[in-house]
Chain A
Amino acid sequence: MSHDEEKSVREVPPGLREGAPSGPPPRRTEPAPADAARPASERATARKKVLLTGAASGMGAVLLRHMADLYDVVGVDEEDLEDVHRSKIVFHQAALGKRQFEDILRRERPDALVHVSFRDDPKTPARVRHQTNVIGTMRLLDASQRTSVAKVVILSSAAVYGALPDNPTFMDETQPLRASQTYSGLRDRVEVDTYAQAWMYKNRDVRTIILRPANVLGPTVHSSFRSYIELPRVPVLAGFDPMMQIIHEDDVARAIIRAVDAPRSGIYNLAGSGSALPLSTVLAELGVSPFPVPYPLALPLSRALWALGLSGFPPPQIDFLRYPQVVSGVRAREDLGFEPEIQPRDCLAAMRRALSSARRGRR
């Protein structure tokens, strides 16, 4: 395992790195009947109450697995929750952007809000996705501020940096977000990330952490990279084999938990050192046989197939098959003490098993 070579770059604006914990110290009183509805700082039990959006999603399921025994979890999602951990948590079925959500916040008064819900399915109309993703996030953040939530953790994605020919290796968190504005999925991500940043600077009293993981792989999560490798015929561009990074869903969950507990604000990439691999190696380890498409054909072909609804592969994503995307996870290591535990080889092996069992399940 190679040593991590990234040099730390400290360019986050001042005022975001206070080390003192927020909130009043816990009071030792007899537990009152409405104990559960008070934030941890006022409750006799020390467990944090964490509200999780997107609880019914893949990432939600991973987080429930990790958090159900650590915190008092309140799950929220538009979809109903069918999960083995359902009995351990409180669940509300609600949409993010609506009044109902703020009522839930007022009633539950969580210590922390973890926002992982993001609608990525290309079959849903872009307008609907934008409403959920961007407007929903905006309303969620405003509601958090109004109900005085002490900590907000937002799961973004390293894809927001975009894949461009002049991407340096080890992009840090100050790198501009240059993801393609032409694909609504990426545009939503960039908008959410940018809005969250602006909100973070405006509302210093709320400790906000934005996490940007590299491509998330694992048996449970459905990332856009997973949609790509699950295509019936996986295309690659002939003559291109860019460096990319992967991270296991369990490591992302661990990072989120660190972010919940960390008494600070900030933006953090999540990627393991030594996790940068060429796309061809990743596909080979996953047991995927790609078919090469010459580049001059690729763009018009992909546009045509996409327009005809014959392809699950949006045209602007082609850039991710061409240009490198390697981010530096040094800041997360230094500030949050987070380093991925699952090595690339094991992560890919786990993903390969998940893919073959999914394939068997479909038959």
Chain B
Amino acid sequence: MAFDPWKHAENALGIPEIRERLRRIPNRLNEYGYDAWGFHPETAARVLSLAYALYRRYWRVEVHGIERVPHGRVVLAANHSGQLPVDGLLLWVAMAMEADPPRIARGMAERWFPTLPYISILMPRMGHVLGDPTNCERLLENGEAILVFPEGARGCGKTWWHRYELVDFGQGFVRLALKTRSPIVPIAVIGGEEQMPSLYNWETLARLLGMPYFPVTPTFPLLGPLGGLPLPTKYHIYFDEPVEFEGDPDGPDAEIVPMVEVVKSKIKRMIEYGLEQRTSVWW
């Protein structure tokens, strides 16, 4: 048999095992291996192998309670931090590689992601979709797992001085859960805030560049783009018991806000617990 360098590289990176794992996940792929949102397990497996290496070696993620994620449709709601959506990436890896059965956590992308070259291709191939109610509803009806960060981009762009403080939660994820009768799993991510300590959010520049925020860290933009690489903090991810709400998805805010607060307070409690348990930011 001829030596195929690509095959050899794939085997070395453990990609066949990852593909095998992904094959266990129920999917709606067409004959070309794509689903309608652009998910392509062949490509996702390659990305997953690199991301899993970072997951284990760089950020050394420890998950707590991942077995609490129920089968079938579920809304995963986590706090957002770290300027770059590393928490989203690591949760995606965790659900694919550590959860049993493996799941594809469908991240919700903001509408400017499809305008970015190459990222606009990679995100759908990994399983992430535009954060649109239609998409979320259909995916949940299909029994999939949706990953939401109710704080939105504002949460990710938090400055150092407000680390681990939860900003206002949007209501969309609760209304979505009510409409599709999906349980919500509150998730706390520890380790994101310190990976890229933003000392100041340069709002004017952000607006100019069309970015949601522009972080000024000790190394960025001082040391150029390399100064914007996230640091190898130790990540802990805590999963709480699922919460099931009942109610009118189109109900007035007064009915929805208390439900949002329940999820928010659960995440807050887990963050406090996680910070207490943590002995070091790096190890």
Q: Which residues of A contact B (CB under 8 A)?
A: 1-3, 5-7, 165-172, 237-243, 274-278, 281, 295, 322-324, 326, 343-345
Contacts and interface: CB of A to CB of B under 8 A. Distances in A.
A243 B120 contact: no
B30 A166 contact: no
B121 interface: yes
Given A168-B130, A168-B134, A278 B34 contact: yes
B36 A276 contact: yes
A277 B32 contact: yes
A323 B36 CA distance: 14
A240 B32 CA distance: 19
A344 B30 contact: yes
Given A168-B134, A343-B31, 12 more contacts: A1-B30, A2-B27, A7-B137, A165-B130, A168-B135, A169-B129, A170-B134, A243-B37, A276-B38, A326-B36, A344-B32, A345-B32
A324 B30 contact: no
Contact of A169 (B113, B117, B138): B138
Contacts of B38: 243, 276, 278, 324
B66 to A, nearest CB: 26
Interface string B27-48: 1111110111110000000000
Contacts of B121: 239-241
A63 B212 CA distance: 51
B114 interface: yes
A233 B170 CA distance: 47
Query: Which secondary structure dominates chain B's binding surface?
Result: loop
A343 B30 CA distance: 10
Q: Which 9 A-B pairs have the closest CB atoms?
A: A239-B117, A168-B134, A274-B30, A165-B114, A276-B36, A168-B132, A166-B111, A239-B118, A2-B28
Interface in B205-238: none
Contacts of A241: 120-121
Contacts of A5: 28, 36, 138, 141-142
Contacts of A274: 28, 30-31, 36
A169 B36 contact: yes
Given A243-B36, A243-B37, A165 B28 contact: no
B202 interface: no
B117 A275 contact: no
Nearest to A171: B134
Interface string B121-142: 1001000011011110110011
A2 B30 contact: yes
A336 B208 CA distance: 50
A166 B120 CA distance: 12
Contacts of B34: 243, 276-278, 281
Interface in B123-169: 124, 129-130, 132-135, 137-138, 141-142
A115 B166 CA distance: 57
B114 A169 contact: no
Contacts of A166: 111, 114, 130, 132
Contacts of B36: 5, 169-170, 243, 274, 276, 326
A165 B118 contact: no
Contacts of B120: 239-242, 322
B87 to A, nearest CB: 23
B115 interface: yes
Contacts of A281: 32, 34
Contacts of A323: 114
5 contacts: A5-B28, A5-B36, A5-B141, A166-B130, A240-B120
B31 A345 contact: yes
Contacts of B129: 169
B180 to A, nearest CB: 10
B35 A2 contact: yes
Contacts of A277: 30, 32, 34
A323 B31 CA distance: 22
B29 A2 contact: yes
B114 A324 contact: yes
B58 interface: no
Nearest to A239: B117
A274 B34 CA distance: 9
A344 B130 CA distance: 25
Contacts of A169: 36-37, 129-130, 134-135, 138
A92 to B, nearest CB: 43
Given A275-B30, A281-B34, A7 B138 contact: yes
A266 B135 CA distance: 24
Contacts of B28: 2-3, 5, 274
Contacts of A295: 117
Interface string B168-200: 000000000000000000000000000000000
B112 interface: yes
Interface in B1-57: 27-32, 34-38
A199 B109 CA distance: 38
A360 to B, nearest CB: 27
A6 B30 contact: no
A167 B131 CA distance: 10
A240 B117 contact: yes
